[in-house]
Structure 1
Amino acid sequence: MQKEGERLIPINIVDEMKSSYIDYSMSVIVSRALPDVRDGLKPVHRRVLYGMYGLGVFSNRKYLKSARIVGDVLGKYHPHGDSSVYDAMVRMAQDWSLRYPQVDGQGNFGSMDGDPPAAMRYTEARLKKISDEILSDLDKETVDFQNNFDDSLQEPTVLPTKIPNLLVNGTSGIAVGMATNMAPHNLSESIDAICAYIDNREITIDELMQHIIAPDFPTGGIIYGYDGVRDAFHTGRGRVVLRAKVSFEEIGNRNAIIVTEIPYQVNKAEMIARTAELVKDEKIPGIYEIRDESDRKGLRVVYELKNDAIPNVVLNLLYKYTALQTSFSVNNIALVDGRPEQLNLKDIIHHFVEHRHEVIVRRTEFELKKAKERAHILEGFMKVIGTQDSLDKAIAIIRHSANPQAAKEGLIEEFDLSEIQAQAILDLRLARLTGMELDKIRDEYDAIMKEILNLEDILANEGRRYQIIKDELIEIKEKYGDERRTEIDYSGGEMSIEDIIPNESVVLTISHAGYIKRTSLSEYKIQSRGGVGNRAATTRDEDFLEYIVSATNHQYMLFFTEKGRCYWLRVFEIPEGSKTAKGRAVQNLINIEPDDKIKAYIRTNNLKDTEYVNQMSVVMVTKNGTIKKTSLEAYSRPRVNGVNAIEIRDNDQLLGAYLTNGTSQIMIATKNGKCIRFPEEKVREVGRGSIGVRGITLEDNDEVIGMIVVNDVENETVLVVSEKGYGKRTAVEDYRITNRGGKGVITLNITDKTGNLIAIQNVTDEDGLMIINKSGVAIRMGMDEMRVMGRNTQGVRLINLKKNDEIAAIAKVEMDKDVEEAEENEEGIEGENQPANTIAQTENNSEHENSGDEVENSDSEE
């Protein structure tokens, strides 16, 4: 109820909330959470340092109780809770929190494990020697002062620091509507960069980065990847990935991962506890025991591994799931003239240099004023006591004066002195009137006059002022500079899932019905040629394995369908299955159309490597003999729904796709045993949407069954396989080079005994061959068992087929000699190898069985 004499003023609550909240937010921004760009300090840190300065607890004095320091700061400058001051002071003393600590603490000031410090009544503190440099020249009117909270005292608005504190120690703070998170840097590097800026104001950020390479964290560690650092220096924002510094050791009969440095701001105890939970939950397999062996000599965390664990795989899992890898999000926001601004590296250096320049000017002006005041007094001395006669007069005036004021007036009148000079004469001790002291006064006057000239020259000469800044910084570097602690791994980048998957060799199999799986290559047993084989996969009724390829987990797979679409998968994304597993339907892994089938694949390396994708091309062939060449770059941007790779016309389908390097030779084989060879250059490169050109001219009832790309004519040979198990190796040179679009020459003499040609492959003696037939039986053999023979022959039997079984697919695989020797002796392989004399006989019979003339080529172009 309104009282008498009161007046109610109606206000809009929205306007009042806006106004009040803005006032509050600006108070938090300016007076609490953000540092000043000049000295890099928030108000609480500045007040702690100034309070200790006032108490005289410098680095060369004895320690003082922390409670005494906190009480002084609270009572004089910082009207907040005592914990706010003590917590700030504790952090200033922690060498794992600040790159260059500012407070020298004695007692328990906490630990990297997150242990709290002892209460302030138990601990003591004093300033670090580097803090003397932050407070240097504070008594020379170098900075402005302001009233404290109750107007009873004055406190500095900024400190005249010689240390580029914002750069070297960084800061973090959450204001209202904004936050700051600035990384620490190495003092030596920072000073080098500042000196380079003073020498050349037009210096670029990239040039500055030659001096100040990256952040330098107090806990060391490794900066993984440089993109975030570059962004932070250029824009003031960036994400720096940090990793622990690790090494591998053998402890007893076990491997161990040893951590000696952890990322900045990571709580070691929490990190170990979290890792133990992940090991217990089997998220990180392979760890036997975790021990913290840290002591006063340094940090040491031991991850002892199980006997079957691969150290690099476990380490990458630790990087992925634990704080052994973290990120530091740089956000350089600081107060510039009382307003928050986002700053890049050059901005921070610029504002620090301007601050130091102002400090130098104000310090010089102060020293000049003091020098002139002293010179004025010395001039008075020279007038009065410069000669014996004047000295006798002065003494007589003082002796005969009734009081000091009369003596002062008498001196002023007699010697034409100012009041200050006259008072200085009266204050002189008699000892100063000796001849020796008079000489000292004259020498001091001469020195003062030289100093005045020097100070006036500094004020008149900007170049000298900046040289002084440089000289003082170099002196700071010599006193406090050190080596950088944080290493930089320039090759690193965003960690992907590849980092935690071993890059082992695998076999990919795709069935006729579209089931796919990957299996470790070591699961397949090695047999000599002519063996019956062992079970490779369990397939559904009327299904059979159609495609097989060897790869490694980190490679990319490009899948091409018979309709001319291209899809992407990384090999490790393909589900793993045992040798007898049927696998997963491709439709569940990529968005392939229900009536489409995968007909070709390409293994590629990193698709983000610009040089690689522009250098390589994809060459495709269709059943009707069309060939198309497109740059791999056109397929370097994976899309979930795939892309069109080639236009397929009616009654045609895509058969194969290969990578070429621009100088390869292409060979295309047909069902009826014909083969053509021509240089890759004969096929011009076209875009992804084009249809292509004629690769081979087909006769009636013939169709293309495959294509190979030959890069090494001398060492590679051509392997052809027929559907009834016959095959042979022939030298590439047996197929003469022709123009694209010809009819080809005979590559295998087709008979009822051999069946139609079903596959062509380029192989060397070092290659292995995987053969899978339609019933799912597989055999693996080495190419060194199969000799090179003539082109126009029937070949030799590669695999014994049961009943009406036929070969479905062949693929090259890398032969592992150790596995070969170990598994050749295994028992239980279905069917023994044929005797050597039988194999020889087969080869001899084949060599002479059918010899026909070459079919002449037609060089007609499309």
Structure 2
Amino acid sequence: MKSVKEKINQFVNERIQKTLLEDIVSSRFARYSKYIIQDRALPDARDGLKPVQRRILYAMGEMGLLSNKPYKKSARIAGDVMGKYHPHGDSSIYEALVRMSQDFKMLVPLVDMHGNNGSIDGDKAAAMRYTEARLSKEAEYLLKDIDKRTVPFVPNFDDEEEEPTVLPARFPNLLVNGAMGISAGYATKIPPHNLAEVIEATIALIDHPNLEAEDLMQYIKGPDFPTGGIVQGKDGILEAMKKGVGRVIIRSKIEVEEISKAQDRIVVTEIPYEVNKADLVRSIDNLRVNNNIDDIIEVRDETDQEGLRIAIDLKKGADAQFYINYLLKNSDLQITFNYNMVAILNNRPVLCGVKELLLAYIEHQKEVVTNRANYELERSMKRNHIVEGLIKMTSVVEEVIKIIRQSKNKADSKINIMNRFGFTELQAEAIVMLQLYRLSSTDIEALMKEQEDLNQLINELNEMLSNERILMRTIKKELQEVLKEIGKPRKTVIEDEIENIKIDHRDLISDENVMIGVTKDGYIKRASLRSFNASKDVGLKENDALVYEKELNNLDTLILFTNLGNYIYLPVFKIEDQKWKDLGIYINNIVPIDKNERIIKVFSFNNFNRDIQLLLATKEGQMKQIQLIDLDVTRYHRPLRAMKLSKTDELVSVDINRKPNIIALSKLGYALRFNTDELPNYGLQAGGVNSMSLNEGDELVSAFYAYDSDEFYMLTNRGHVIKDSVMELPKYGRNRRGIIVIERLKTNPHLIVSASRFSKAQAKEDVNTLLVSSKESLKVLVSELKYSNNKFGKKMLDDGFYISIDDAKEDIEEEIIKKEPPKKETKPIKLKEEQVITKTNQQIRLSRLDLFDDEE
């Protein structure tokens, strides 16, 4: 038994390696990463091709599928590539083959495909057994001279074939066709550029190696996409040309056609690169449906053989330019393109600018042309040597023929003439293989002419190999030939500046009146007038009640103030349309608010650019005035600050439309009246100033603007409505306690919970009054609030929560003030104390209520 364990241990020690898991994973992943970076996803900076693309083009060249030869089945090509060079799935090979043939993906297609090769709508190509392909004329320039040992070859995966590591590439394909790919830790996104501009920039860089990106931009204006369009952002292009990273905007080409005198049609003729046209049309139509854009009648794809065309019909009177801007902003008619120019340079992934890529290409061409020159020099010298022997042979042709006839065989003939005349083996081989008709005088002259040409070519090749200037001149000449043969005009328009599109969403909204309701528990609803009129009762949660109910326009904006000193900016059209009998949407589902945050006041506006003040008051007696225009914002996805509060304070009252007096009421029944001019205007981020002095246990419950002639109604916690007059309140300075306006009871006292100003205009028009309790709301005419001389007013509810009197259409007092000449300011009566101290040191409160009975 022991021997078996020893053998097992010995086997384990000999055959099994102990290695840390992280070392194994790190090593294997490093090898895998190196493979996908260098041999799959990233293009080579020299020929601009990924390995699968290079193998497809080389295999097609070997199959003789030139641009002037018949097509062959794509399945045959894919099979040949997979069997010889690319041992992966045929689907990946076919996808790469199809992409190289698509003129909406490749600025210069490298494959000429016969059959369905997909579409800009995202349709897939037909199966490879149905389509046929051959090389395009442009691809031939990438393969040109590959048979002249211009590029290095390596064994394929099974060592039975050889494949090139790079193609000769007569033009800078990486910049011309661009590239996209993702590998381990690296990604590349290089846009295509115009072939003529790239070649001109390459020639300029050959002539002036010190050119910088700014200079190269004189030649390369920017990307040139196969789908055309408009590129905006010269600064982004320059940044990308310098560092390889940058950002530009690609915008569709859009025209406006006139359907009739007052009706337009938006027509899109070019779309951004890599945008799926079918998805784009669908998304535009979804914008029409989901965003309720009534002015867009129909979206149609009218693309045909004449070119791309998307038609968007508008209603009569619709602003075409506005909808162009809206669609550019909200659809893929305009996209952002971010450069990330990573390529394999010296076997490493490198982020390159345009100059680095062009220099890499020029170095590659120097090697290609040098290798080709060496190959052609070798062949020319070999041929010159043979021609020299053939010319020498013509002077002794009879004797050469005689020696050959006397020889036993070909090998003996070669040896004999080599020994007799001193020919080399190469010359002797050419002589014995010579056909007799070549011995005519014409052919001898041709040989002499060929020798002369060969000597000239050899001299030129030697000069090229020994003089870099001549070498570079050759590269320039070949680039100019390519430019002449396959250069095409630019498709994409370049604009220097990125245009900022500002959309006022109000222009999309139909001018329609709706009913808005806001409840005390924070539920908001918008309903059509038809739904409102058809509903007998309003939909409410249990024990909830409306605190705001008004007919508004869709273009109006709600401003909702909360107890935490914030306000919510809520355009009416942003509220989901519901039936009036529905509960509504909780405010937290529209704008996120705190758990203890609640709505205290609601206003509506159709224009913020007016000289209007608002009065904000807190329960601790702090007040300030703010400007309406300060509440106007463009971003409103969260509550915005209206007033800075202390940790223990809350906003309890907000009023609007400045008037000469400010009336402040406290819970325990104190009323303070002071001049509005004493209260400063502050910004939204500021706190308030002390405006009402409060006893311990007391708090401010309401503050509002008022004219001297106004009255006001107070609602108590016991549901009583009490009326009082502004004129009967003495005018004090700010930060005083005021006087008592409600008699205190020892048991179950009346406490003020809310108050509202009441003017003569409101009395004349007998406006509506909304009274809210903890469980219900009551809407009555203001005339129904009248009562007898009961100092505790008229009981209207079981308990009190909120009172609001509708504004009058015409405010009489305001009209009087406008007509009357300004009066000389009189100083308000100031009482030093609101309490009188008797001889017995008893404190007596000043109150008008001693005139009334104690009965309720």
Q: TM-score range by the shorter chain?
A: 0.5 to 0.7
Aligned residue in 2 for 1:354: 363
Task: Deviation per CA, 1:770-821: give whole Å up to 9, x if none.
Answer: xxxxx99999xxxxxxxxxxxxxxxxxxxx97478546xxxxxxxxxxxxxx
Aligned residues of 1:544 and 1:776 also touching (Cα < 8 A): no
2: CA distance, partners of 1:76 / 1:514:
72
Report the count of equivalent residues.
588
Aligned residue in 2 for 1:455: 461
> Which letter does structure 2 place at the counterpart of 1:272?
V
2: CA distance, partners of 1:360 / 1:38:
14
2: CA distance, partners of 1:143 / 1:473:
18
Task: Deviation per CA, 1:697-719: give whole Å up to 9, x if none.
Answer: xxxxxxxxxxxxxxxxxxxxxxx
> Which letter does structure 2 place at the counterpart of 1:182?
I
Displacement after TM superposition at 1:131 (Å): 0.8
* Change in 2 beyond 3 A, CA 1:804/1:282: closer
Query: Does residue 1:321 correspond to 2:330, yes or no?
Result: yes
1:759-770 matches, cutoff 5 A: none
Aligned residue in 1 for 2:27: 19
Displacement after TM superposition at 1:516 (Å): 11
2: CA distance, partners of 1:177 / 1:201:
32
Displacement after TM superposition at 1:378 (Å): 1.2
* Change in 2 beyond 3 A, CA 1:574/1:423: closer
Aligned mate of 1:439, from 420, 442, 445: 445
* Change in 2 beyond 3 A, CA 1:592/1:802: closer
Q: Secondary structure at the match of 1:191?
A: helix
2: CA distance, partners of 1:514 / 1:85:
61
Q: Secondary structure at the match of 1:348?
A: helix
* Change in 2 beyond 3 A, CA 1:500/1:226: farther
Task: Deviation per CA, 1:504-529: give whole Å up to 9, x if none.
Answer: xx999999999999999xxxxxxxxx
> Which letter does structure 2 place at the counterpart of 1:330?
Y
Aligned residue in 1 for 2:715: none
Q: Secondary structure at the match of 2:55?
A: helix
Aligned residue in 2 for 1:216: 224
Q: Secondary structure at the match of 1:289?
A: strand
Aligned residues of 2:626 and 2:684 also touching (Cα < 8 A): no
Aligned mate of 2:291, from 282, 296, 300: 282
1:637-648 matches, cutoff 5 A: none
Query: Does residue 1:417 correspond to 2:423, yes or no?
Result: yes
Query: Does residue 1:299 correspond to 2:305, yes or no?
Result: no
Aligned residue in 2 for 1:767: none
Identity of aligned residues (%): 39
Aligned residue in 1 for 2:192: 184
Q: Secondary structure at the match of 1:185?
A: coil
Aligned residues of 1:507 and 1:549 also touching (Cα < 8 A): no
Aligned residue in 1 for 2:718: none
2: CA distance, partners of 1:383 / 1:500:
96
Aligned residue in 2 for 1:337: 346
1:457-856 matches, cutoff 5 A: 457-493=463-499, 495=501, 497=503, 549=609, 573=634, 589-590=640-641, 592-593=643-644, 802=813, 805-806=816-817
Aligned mate of 2:381, from 362, 366, 372: 372
Task: Deviation per CA, 1:78-121: give whole Å up to 9, x if none.
Answer: 10111011111011111001001011111111111111111111
Q: Secondary structure at the match of 1:327?
A: strand
1: CA distance, partners of 2:397 / 2:172:
53
Aligned residue in 1 for 2:101: 93
2: CA distance, partners of 1:65 / 1:548:
69
Query: Does residue 1:80 correspond to 2:88, yes or no?
Result: yes
Aligned residues of 1:284 and 1:317 also touching (Cα < 8 A): no
Aligned residues of 1:516 and 1:574 also touching (Cα < 8 A): no
> Which letter does structure 2 place at the counterpart of 1:573?
T
Aligned mate of 2:258, from 242, 250, 259: 250
Aligned residue in 1 for 2:124: 116
1: CA distance, partners of 2:482 / 2:85:
29
Aligned residues of 1:224 and 1:492 also touching (Cα < 8 A): yes
Aligned residues of 2:227 and 2:272 also touching (Cα < 8 A): yes
* Change in 2 beyond 3 A, CA 1:8/1:544: closer
Aligned residues of 1:246 and 1:260 also touching (Cα < 8 A): yes
Aligned residue in 2 for 1:262: 271
Query: Does residue 1:139 correspond to 2:147, yes or no?
Result: yes
Task: Deviation per CA, 1:115-137: give whole Å up to 9, x if none.
Answer: 11111111111111111111000
Q: Secondary structure at the match of 2:231?
A: strand
* Change in 2 beyond 3 A, CA 1:69/1:806: same
1: CA distance, partners of 2:66 / 2:336:
37
Q: Secondary structure at the match of 1:38?
A: coil
Query: Does residue 1:401 correspond to 2:407, yes or no?
Result: yes
> Which letter does structure 2 place at the counterpart of 1:323?
D
Displacement after TM superposition at 1:320 (Å): 2.1
Task: Deviation per CA, 1:677-697: give whole Å up to 9, x if none.
Answer: xxxxxxxxxxxxxxxxxxxxx
2: CA distance, partners of 1:331 / 1:236:
6
1: CA distance, partners of 2:558 / 2:134:
71
Displacement after TM superposition at 1:275 (Å): 2.3
Aligned residue in 1 for 2:434: 428
Displacement after TM superposition at 1:15 (Å): 0.4
Displacement after TM superposition at 1:573 (Å): 2.5
Q: Secondary structure at the match of 1:93?
A: coil
> Which letter does structure 1 place at the counterpart of 2:388?
E
2: CA distance, partners of 1:569 / 1:224:
35
* TM-score normalised by structure 2 residue count: 0.62
2: CA distance, partners of 1:259 / 1:144:
48
Q: Which has the larger radius of gyration?
A: 2
* TM-score normalised by structure 1 residue count: 0.61
Displacement after TM superposition at 1:409 (Å): 1.5
Q: Secondary structure at the match of 1:395?
A: helix
Aligned residues of 2:188 and 2:341 also touching (Cα < 8 A): yes
2: CA distance, partners of 1:314 / 1:54:
54
1: CA distance, partners of 2:428 / 2:505:
84
Aligned mate of 1:30, from 20, 35, 38: 38
Displacement after TM superposition at 1:476 (Å): 1.2
Q: Secondary structure at the match of 1:295?
A: coil
Q: Comparing both chains, which one has the higher relative contact order based on Cα–Cα distances under 8 Å and sequence gaps of 6 or more?
A: 1
Q: Secondary structure at the match of 1:166?
A: helix
Task: Deviation per CA, 1:537-588: give whole Å up to 9, x if none.
Answer: xxx99x999x98469xxxxxxxxxx99999997966299xxxxxxxx9xx96
> Which letter does structure 1 place at the counterpart of 2:309?
R
Q: Secondary structure at the match of 1:180?
A: strand
Task: Deviation per CA, 1:586-638: give whole Å up to 9, x if none.
Answer: x9645654699999xxxxxxxxxxxxxxxxxxxxxxx99xxxxxxxxxxxxxx
Superposed CA RMSD in Å reads 4.4
> Which letter does structure 1 place at the counterpart of 2:475?
I
Aligned residue in 2 for 1:830: none
2: CA distance, partners of 1:91 / 1:396:
65
1: CA distance, partners of 2:462 / 2:77:
40
Aligned residues of 1:334 and 1:340 also touching (Cα < 8 A): yes
Displacement after TM superposition at 1:410 (Å): 1.7
Aligned residues of 1:378 and 1:441 also touching (Cα < 8 A): yes
> Which letter does structure 2 place at the counterpart of 1:141?
R
Aligned residues of 2:66 and 2:136 also touching (Cα < 8 A): yes
Aligned mate of 1:40, from 43, 48, 55: 48
2: CA distance, partners of 1:158 / 1:568:
66
Q: Secondary structure at the match of 2:103?
A: coil
2: CA distance, partners of 1:291 / 1:235:
41
* Change in 2 beyond 3 A, CA 1:106/1:222: same
Aligned residue in 2 for 1:311: 320
Aligned residues of 1:508 and 1:548 also touching (Cα < 8 A): no
Displacement after TM superposition at 1:365 (Å): 0.9
Q: Secondary structure at the match of 1:467?
A: helix
Gaps of 5+ in 1: 521-539, 552-561, 576-583, 600-622, 625-639, 652-774, 780-799, 808-838, 847-862
Displacement after TM superposition at 1:414 (Å): 2.0
Aligned residue in 1 for 2:245: 237
Aligned residues of 2:213 and 2:355 also touching (Cα < 8 A): yes
Task: Deviation per CA, 1:647-670: give whole Å up to 9, x if none.
Answer: x9999xxxxxxxxxxxxxxxxxxx
